[in-house]
């Protein structure tokens, strides 16, 4: 507007606006949809806070589950294991899909009005919300969490499942149970790959506002994100380790004279 009216009296500028059908509105401060690996900007966070504070209480608390339930395939499924794996991976992908999550928010009249006031689109708000959730989950892990080690173990298990062509319904019950346990690695991989993308700036931001977020977003995202998908062997290691030179149990000697007995 200033470039067009440089050197023109203010009254003429106003008249020109009226003749042209009104002056243009200020451009929106939001020019892109935030991704998990992008830093949340101060203007975005300020708008997010205002919107969430003004929303009717249950709106975000009832938002879709970003972490789907763990594998629980019906025993009559006649697909081979590797195809069930593909289905599970699709479910995990859709849980974070912007278009899928967007449908859950577009019907809210309250949100629509608030977004208009902030000059933010539904897509931008949902992208920002997912970014905040990812940061909340990442904030529950140690700053030096070893993603590579955890991912390596999970990927090894996933490769075995991806090569398994046995018909699920034809397997023995204990074999199906083992496959379901192994398939948890798919969820672990998905979470690890998303959480490792979160910038440290976003983690610090959500930690600073942890109390506010805990009240406004589902409690699920304020809890450790990997507890239900842990590979206990990788996380905790072997229950014990023999010392070098301890030898085999076959070589243990017992002398009755050394035994302590009751009289």
pLDDT digits (tens, 9 = 90+) for 146-157: 999 889 989 999
**pLDDT, position 102:** 86
Q: What is the pTM of this model?
A: 0.76
User: Which residue has tokens 């996933």?
Assistant: 158
Helices (H), ranges, the chain: 2-5, 10-19, 42-54, 58-61, 81-95, 98-102, 109-118, 122-138, 147-162, 173-195, 200-208, 210-216, 232-236
Residue 101 CB partners (closer than 8 Å, separation 6+): 63, 64, 66, 126, 130
202 near 135, Cβ under 8 Å?
Answer: yes
5: alpha, beta or left? (left if phi > 0; alpha if psi -120 to 50): alpha
Of the two residues 29 and 211, the one the predictor is more confident about is 211
Supply 210's token pair.
């942890």
Grade residue 66 by pLDDT with cuts at 50, 70 and 90: confident
Residue located via tokens 């072997």: 238
Mean pLDDT of 144-170: 94
What pLDDT shows up at residue 56?
82
Instruction: Tokens for 260, please give them.
Output: 């302590």
Per-residue pLDDT tens over the stretch 91-113: 999 999 988 888 877 777 888 99
User: Cβ(130)–Cβ(101) under 8 Å?
Assistant: yes
253: tokens are 């000697």
Confidence of residue 14 (pLDDT cuts 50, 70, 90): very low
258: pLDDT confidence band, cut at 50, 70 and 90? low
CA pair distance 30, 182, nearest whole angstrom: 43
């Amino acid at each position: 507007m200033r470039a067009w009216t440089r050197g023109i009296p203010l009254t003429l500028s106003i008249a020109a606006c009226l003749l042209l059908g009104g002056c243009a509105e200020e451009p929106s401060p939001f020019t892109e949809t935030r991704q998990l690996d992008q830093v949340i900007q101060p203007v975005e966070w300020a708008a997010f806070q205002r919107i969430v504070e003004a929303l009717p209480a249950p709106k975000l608390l009832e938002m879709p589950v970003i972490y789907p339930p763990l594998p629980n395939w019906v025993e009559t499924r006649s697909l081979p294991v590797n195809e069930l794996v593909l289905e599970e991976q699709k479910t995990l992908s859709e849980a974070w899909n912007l278009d899928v999550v967007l449908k859950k928010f577009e019907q809210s009249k309250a949100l629509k009005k608030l977004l208009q006031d902030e000059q933010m689109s539904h897509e931008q708000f949902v992208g920002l919300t997912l970014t905040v959730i990812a940061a909340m989950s990442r904030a529950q892990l140690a700053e030096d969490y070893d993603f590579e080690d955890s991912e390596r173990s999970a990927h090894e298990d996933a490769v075995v499942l991806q090569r398994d062509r046995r018909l699920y319904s034809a397997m023995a019950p204990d074999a199906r149970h083992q496959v379901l346990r192994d398939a948890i690695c798919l969820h672990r991989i998905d979470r690890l790959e998303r959480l490792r993308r979160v910038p440290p700036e976003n983690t610090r931001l959500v930690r600073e506002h942890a109390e506010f977020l805990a009240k406004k977003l589902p409690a699920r995202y304020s809890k450790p994100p990997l507890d239900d998908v842990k590979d206990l062997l990788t996380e905790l290691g072997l229950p014990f380790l023999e010392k070098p030179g301890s030898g085999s149990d076959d070589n243990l000697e017992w002398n009755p004279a050394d035994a302590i007995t009751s009289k």
